[in-house]
Amino acid sequence: MPRCYQSIVVNAPVDKVWDTIKNFHDMSWAPNVIEKCEAVGEKSGTEAGAKRILNGVFHETLLECNDQEHRVRYSIDDGPSPVSSAEVSHYIGDLHLIPVTLANSTFVEWGSTWDSTSEDAAAFCHQIYVALLRELVQQLETK
């Protein structure tokens, strides 16, 4: 099972980082990566089953938004190659925040697993996660 994992420390308290990322329908914190986040359906951005389309091509579903664990889990239902539904199945993304208490900062880890016979999705996802995590740091540490 292929996987992708990235992590970073954000110099902001966990509650501030959580408030920034927990709404599945709001990716405004990453304007240089996500140009458009379209909510699909009536579910709120923190309700399991919420759907979105990112940049007109990534169709995703929120599986879990856990306030106690500071965790968002989602699936990619379809997207561009190499994460299209024809190439990848059972894609589960996991964004998790852990407080770094002595520094009042946040350890952010973003990982995913999926089924595929191709190796291309790992490099593709790696680049996206790196860009998104850098955007998160830039947004929160410059405010």
What's the token pair of residue 93? Answer: 């993304």
Sign (positive/negative) of CA torsion 27, 30, 31, 35? negative
Structure tokens given for 133: 């995590």
pLDDT tens for the chain, 143 residues long, are 899 999 999 999 999 999 999 999 999 999 999 999 999 999 999 999 999 999 999 999 999 999 999 999 999 999 999 999 999 999 999 999 999 999 999 999 999 999 997 789 999 999 999 999 999 999 998 75
* Count of domains forming the chain: 1
CATH number of the domain to which 81 belongs: 3.30.530.20
- What is the span of the domain harbouring residue 92? 3-141
Are residues 108 and 9 in contact, defined by beta-carbon separation less than 8 angstroms? yes
| pTM, rounded to two decimals | 0.95
Residue 43 to residue 62: CA distance in whole angstroms: 10
